[in-house]
Chains A and B, each alone.
Chain A
Amino acid sequence: MIPLEHWIIVSSCLFAIGVAGVILRRNALVVYMSLEMILNASNLALVAASRYNGNLDGQVFAFFTIAVAAAEVAVGLAIIVALFRLKQTVQVSDVTTLKL
Chain B
Amino acid sequence: MNSSNILHVLNLLTPEIVLCGLAFGVLLLDIIFFRSDSVEHRHEQLGCSVIIGLVMVFFIYALQYMDWQNTFVVGHGAFVASRLNTLFKMAVVGLALITVVIGFKTPYSTHVGEYYGLMLFSVLGMVFLISSEDLLMIFIALELISLTLYVLTAFQKGARRSVEGGLKYFIFGGFSAAFLLFGLSYIYGATGHTSLREIAGALQGDQLAKVPMKMLGIGILFTLVGLGFKIAAAPFHLWAPDAYEGAPTPVAAMIATGSKIASFVALTKLLLIGLPAAAGSALSWPTRWHSGWAGTVAIIAVLSMTIGNFAAIMQTNVKRLLAYSSVAHAGYILVAIVAIQASGVPAPSAAPAIYFYIIIYALTNIGAFGVVNAIGSKAGGDDFEHFTGMARRSPYLSLLMLIFMLSLAGIPPLAGFFGKFYLFAAAVQADPKNLGLLWLVAYAIAMSAVSLYYYLKLTKQMYVLPAKDPRRVTSNPAMNTSLGLIGLMVLLMGVFPNKVVERFENLNANPYPIWEAAVPPPPQPEIPVPAPAEKPAVPAPAAPAPKS
Contacts and interface: CB of A to CB of B under 8 A. Distances in A.
Question: Direct contact between A and B in the complex (CB less than 8 angstroms)?
Answer: yes
B185 A45 contact: yes
B185 A42 contact: yes
Given A42-B185, A64-B136, A98 B171 contact: no
Report which residue of B154, B164, B165, B189 has the largest number of chain A beta carbons within 10 angstroms of its beta carbon. Answer: B189
Interface residues of B, number: 43
Contacts of A64: 136, 139-140
B310 to A, nearest CB: 15
Interface string A74-97: 011011101101110000100101
B188 A38 contact: no
Point out which of B177, B182, B238 has the most chain A C-beta atoms below 10 A from its C-beta.
B182
Dominant secondary structure at the B interface: helix
Contact of A49 (B168, B192, B238): B192
Query: Which of A41, A54, A61 has the most B CB atoms < 10 Å from its CB?
Result: A61
B193 to A, nearest CB: 7
Interface residues of A, number: 47
Contacts of B181: 38-39, 42, 65
B188 A46 contact: yes
Contact of A80 (B135, B167, B184): B167
Max count, chain B CB within 10 A of own CB: residue among A72, A79, A97: A79
B151 A75 contact: yes
B242 interface: yes
B177 A83 contact: no
A57 B174 contact: no
Contacts of A17: none
A49 B175 contact: no
Interface in A1-51: 4, 8, 11, 15, 18, 22, 28, 31-32, 35, 38-39, 41-43, 45-46, 48-49
Interface string B326-347: 0000000000000000000000
B160 interface: yes
B147 interface: yes
Nearest to B146: A72
A46 B185 contact: yes
B136 A61 contact: yes
A70 B158 CA distance: 26
Contacts of B164: 83, 95, 97-98
Nearest to A61: B136
B116 interface: no
Given A42-B178, A45-B182, A64-B136, A79 B166 contact: yes
Interface string B236-253: 001001100110000000
B170 interface: yes
A75 B140 CA distance: 15
A87 to B, nearest CB: 7
B160 A97 contact: yes
A72 B154 contact: no
Interface in B147-203: 147, 150-151, 154, 157-158, 160-161, 163-168, 170-171, 174-175, 177-179, 181-182, 184-186, 188-189, 192-194
Most buried by B among A22, A31, A32, A72: A72
A76 B174 contact: yes
A43 B167 CA distance: 25
A49 B184 CA distance: 12
Given A46-B188, A80-B167, A98-B168, A72 B147 contact: yes
B150 A79 contact: yes
Nearest to B192: A53
Given A38-B182, A46-B185, A75-B147, A97 B139 contact: no
A77 to B, nearest CB: 10
Contact of B175 (A8, A22, A28, A71): A22
A95 to B, nearest CB: 5
B140 A83 contact: no
A79 B170 contact: yes
Given A46-B185, A82-B154, A98-B165, A60 B136 contact: yes
B492 to A, nearest CB: 38
Interface of A: 4, 8, 11, 15, 18, 22, 28, 31-32, 35, 38-39, 41-43, 45-46, 48-49, 53-58, 60-61, 64-65, 68, 71-72, 75-76, 78-80, 82-83, 85-87, 92, 95, 97-98, 100
The 9 A-B residue pairs whose C-beta atoms are closest, nearest first, are A49-B189, A38-B178, A53-B192, A45-B185, A42-B185, A98-B242, A42-B181, A42-B182, A46-B185
Given A72-B177, A86-B158, 14 more contacts: A8-B215, A22-B171, A35-B174, A45-B189, A58-B185, A61-B136, A68-B143, A68-B177, A72-B143, A75-B147, A79-B151, A85-B157, A95-B164, A98-B165
29 contacts: A22-B171, A22-B175, A32-B174, A35-B178, A38-B175, A39-B178, A41-B182, A42-B181, A42-B184, A45-B182, A45-B185, A49-B192, A54-B192, A55-B192, A55-B529, A57-B193, A58-B189, A61-B135, A61-B185, A64-B139, A65-B181, A68-B143, A75-B151, A75-B170, A82-B157, A86-B160, A87-B160, A98-B242, A100-B242
